[in-house]
Amino acid sequence: MSMLTVKDLCIKVHDRKTTDTLVYDVDLSMDKGDILGIVGESGSGKTMTALAIAGLLSRHDMEKSGQIIFEGINLLEVERKVLRKIQGNEITMVFQEPLNSFNPLKKVGWQVEEGLRVHTVMDKIEMKDRAIEALRDVELSNPEAVYNSYPHELSGGMRQRAMIAAAMIIQPKLIIADEPTTALDVTIQAEIVELLKRINKERGTAILFISHDLSLVNTLCENVLVMQNGLVVESGKCDSIFNNPKEDYTKKLISAIPKNPFYKG
């Protein structure tokens, strides 16, 4: 059995008059330590799919159907108490721009400790030690200073590393990274991808990596899903999808990759 199996996932949003289906019958599966990419144009349903898996879609506005089975438990059916042990603990999420997800008024260290406060019983000193260790693990050179900084005092790349530290501090089995590098410049993007690769290799953490950037997905991921208008139009090994796409939509996405004149690959 896979670690994560999503089957026939549909997400609908209701307002007073209409119902909109945002995601249709999405299937995916991931084993421990897998890195799966999701690509697709803006509005194709990548974030909605990710939020549903991470348990971050409000139960009131969004109707979810199908199955999200994590280690044998259907997250769409299980009681809240069990859900809280999985979502935010076994499954954590990293977002595009940590400035929007970090609280600007709280120091970074306090926010990196969040998972420990919610999911463990630890005293302050122990939490601080763990937070510093997590910040060091993401290759921040002065973890103590970062711990004592406010989010706006860090560069974009440092903030994203701190966000990854916050996601990793409780040693999740799956990290969902939704466009984690999109707000960063190209060299920093590559560093963050290298960091995720290292975490995956050393810790065995599975990564669901959502990106517009097909070449980053190709560098990091083994398998990829291509989404369009809420549907998975094609899925499989990156090698075969990127070298031999079957669907016109995938071909279109690939042909839209800007050619780098300096690339001699």
Ligand X SMILES: Nc1ncnc2c1ncn2[C@@H]1O[C@H](COP(=O)(O)OP(=O)(O)OP(=O)(O)O)[C@@H](O)[C@H]1O
Among 43, 77, 201, 252, binds ligand X (CB under 6 A): 43
Handedness of CA 73, 35, 236, 184 (dihedral sign): positive
Region near ligand X per CB under 6 A, out of 45-53, 127-135, 157-165, 217-225:
45-53
* Amino acid in the structure at residue 169: I
Beta bridge partners of 132: none
Q: Any contact of residue 44 with ligand X (CB under 6 A)?
A: yes
Residue at shortest CB range from Mg ion: 47
- Hey, which residues between 23 and 52 contact Mg ion (CB under 5 A)? 47
Region near ligand X per CB under 6 A, out of 39-47, 138-146, 194-202, 234-242:
39-47
Size of the site for ligand X (CB under 6 A): 11
Q: How far is the CB of 163 from Mg ion (least distance, A)?
A: 16
Q: Which helix (H) or strand (E) holds 194?
A: helix 186-203
Q: How far is the CB of 104 from ligand X (least distance, A)?
A: 23
Q: How far is the CB of 101 from Mg ion (least distance, A)?
A: 13
42: tokens are 């803006």
* Helix spans in 108-155 (H): 108-112, 114-119, 124-137, 143-147
Q: Any contact of residue 66 with ligand X (CB under 6 A)?
A: no
Q: What angle (nearest 5°) sits at the alpha carbon of residue 120, between those of residues 157 and 91?
A: 55
